[in-house]
Amino acid sequence: MKDDLITRLNQYRILWVFVFYDLPTDTKKDRKNFARFRKDLQKDGFTILQYSIYTRHCNSRENADVHIKRVKSFLPPKGEVIIFTLTDKQFGMMEFFRSSAAVDKPGTPQQLELF
């Protein structure tokens, strides 16, 4: 019973940070900013979920806040960026489809926690 409660609480404590972006690619400088933003997301541990949608698994609100602040620090000068979080429980309720066929959800990354 206690383990079930801990698991349930962890599903609400663990967060997924999503970054949606729509950046211009009209000029050479725009394309450079687009590529730099995408590379910075990847360096910070974000993985592509769908074109222009990146996500990152975070073990706590504090950890999510660190990564959100980091994304804000390298926002490109033009375009639109949306950052939001979902709990692990909410993420688990998402359904993924390719054409009309259901596909597996992305796996939870293995992360080492030190206490």
Instruction: Note whether residue 96 is domain-resident.
Output: no
- Written as one string, the DSSP assignment of 41-64 is HHHTT-EEEETTEEEEEESSHHHH
Query: Which position has the higher pLDDT, 89 or 34?
Result: 34
Q: What global pTM score does this model have?
A: 0.79
Is 69 contained in some domain? yes
Confidence of residue 104 (pLDDT cuts 50, 70, 90): confident
pLDDT digits (tens, 9 = 90+) for 16-62: 999 999 999 999 999 999 999 999 999 999 999 999 999 999 999 99
1 found inside a domain = no
50 located within any domain: yes
- pLDDT of the residue at 115: 43
When divided into structural domains, the chain yields a total of 1
Give residue 111's pLDDT: 56
CATH number of the domain encompassing residue 17: 3.30.70.240
H/E stretch holding 15 reads strand 15-22
Domain range for 27 is: 8-90
Q: Is 76 left (phi over 0), alpha (psi -120 to 50) or beta?
A: beta
Residue 108 lies in a domain: no
Q: How far apart, in whole angstroms, are the C-alpha atoms of residue 33 and residue 95? A: 32
Distance set, CA 11 to CA 40, 61, 89, 96, 113 (Å): 28, 12, 5, 19, 16
In a domain, 35, yes or no: yes
